[in-house]
Structure 1
Amino acid sequence: MRPTLILLSDSATKAVILERLRTAGEYQPEPVFDRLTVAGASFGVDPTDAVLVEYDVGVLERVLPGGRAHAVMIEYGAREQVRPLVLAVADGLDGVLDTNYGPYLRFGDLPASGWLARPGHPGRDDTPGDPLAVFEEQSEEVVRN
């Protein structure tokens, strides 16, 4: 099983994310996970909100206040493969990335994210964080680079 990321947003933003994913490379709808191939990297995409049943309602309200959350889950091999895809689909949008292995990341913080920038496979090189810490804090040094 490969690691996953979950893009959390409102319904209008989710529609934009899905359109960007469908045009990012070769997109093939499938019964379980849709398949997306971009620059030789393969991704699984779950465009349903099914993963939301795994979230505590209070956590969802805390990370995405002001409305009903919607989700797009992306299955990937390594962060260096998924980083350009996530940056492209989230660019200029409001929402939250759940890394499944640490802090939540606001879409606007993704370019400076230390977690997303590290190479490798999550779980092997990460210590799970406290999900109630909520968001990764950006140091001034990371943001400047």
Structure 2
Amino acid sequence: MARLQQAGAYSEGEIFDRLDRGECSFGVDASGDVLDEFDQEEVDEIRQKIGEFQAIMLEYSGVSCIRDLLGEVIQGLSGLLDTNYGELIEYGEVLARFQREPLWDWRFAVGE
């Protein structure tokens, strides 16, 4: 969470916090409420893969914005990215995909 707060102009909000970074704006929810969208079996599977974790939901305006942000803040961390398009991808693989495919857009990668 500290990396997100340092990645731009961060301000707390009533429902979502806000991160402004150049021309990109993000909604940030670190309450963990996003886990309500998962079955308990899915949460247990995630814990088996990475141990205890903090769920952070990011709302973003464009994939290039989120790609740049993630490329900076997940470097050296262990975790999973839920693309919201049917994939849970380990951070290391996310960064590797950014290297291999600088324009990778997970919204269109499912089934390719």
Tell me if both proteins adopt one fold, taking TM over 0.5 as the criterion. Answer: yes
Q: Deviations over 1:24-67 (max 9, x none)?
A: 00001000111101121011000111111111121122233164
Contact 2:18 2:28 in 1 (8 A): yes
CA positional deviation for 1:69 = 3.7
Correspondence for 1:132: none
Q: How does 1:1-145 map to 2 (within 5 A)?
A: 18-65=1-48, 67-113=51-97, 117-119=103-105, 122=107, 125=108
CA distance in 1, matches of 2:103, 2:55: 22
CA distance in 2, matches of 1:46, 1:34: 6
Note closer, same or farther for the CA distance 1:61–1:110 as it changes in structure 2 (3 Å cut).
same
Correspondence for 1:135: none
Contact 1:96 1:104 in 2 (8 A): yes
CA positional deviation for 1:116 = 8.4
Runs of 4+ in 1 over 3 A off after TM superposition: 66-69, 114-117
Report the secondary structure of 1:71's partner residue: coil
Amino acid at match of 2:59: E
CA positional deviation for 1:76 = 0.3
TM-score (norm: length of structure 2): 0.82
Which stretches in structure 2 are left out of the alignment for 5+ residues? none
Aligned length: 108
CA distance in 2, matches of 1:116, 1:106: 17
CA distance in 1, matches of 2:82, 2:15: 20
CA distance in 2, matches of 1:25, 1:109: 24
Q: Deviations over 1:93-142 (max 9, x none)?
A: 111110101311101111223798424x94xx465x7xxxxxxxxxxxxx
Report the secondary structure of 2:56's partner residue: strand
Which stretches in structure 1 are left out of the alignment for 5+ residues? 1-17, 130-145
CA positional deviation for 1:20 = 0.5
